[in-house]
Amino acid sequence: MNKLSPKKLLLTKWTAVQPSRKEKHFLVAEVIAPEPPEGPLEWVELEAVLSKSRYRIAWRELKNADIWRQGWV
């Protein structure tokens, strides 16, 4: 399990363990602010480096080492 702080996620780099559609490397492009603002952070938006496609995922999914590796491997 990767240790993460939701406050430091913006612009971090991630590698998918099992790439799909030739998208392997991702960057956290946006941290989605919660509604209401004092609520806990739940979502981040990943941007694929190759295709510039964006995907919204729960930030806690990045802790799963079977799916994500921190950095570009």
Which of 14, 4, 6 has the alpha carbon at shortest distance from 63? 4
Q: Provide the pLDDT for residue 1.
A: 55
Q: Provide the pLDDT for residue 67.
A: 95
Tell me the C-alpha to C-alpha distance, in Å, between residue 8 and each of 29, 49, 59. Answer: 12, 20, 11
Strand-pair category, 13-20 with 23-32 = antiparallel
Q: Provide the pLDDT for residue 66.
A: 95
User: What does each of the 73 residues of the chain score in pLDDT, given as a tens digit?
Assistant: 567 888 899 999 999 999 999 999 999 999 998 888 888 889 999 999 999 999 999 999 999 999 999 998 8
Which of 51, 50, 3, 12 has the alpha carbon at shortest distance from 31? 12
Domain chopping of the chain, boundaries = 6-70
Residue pointed to by tokens 């981040």 = 44
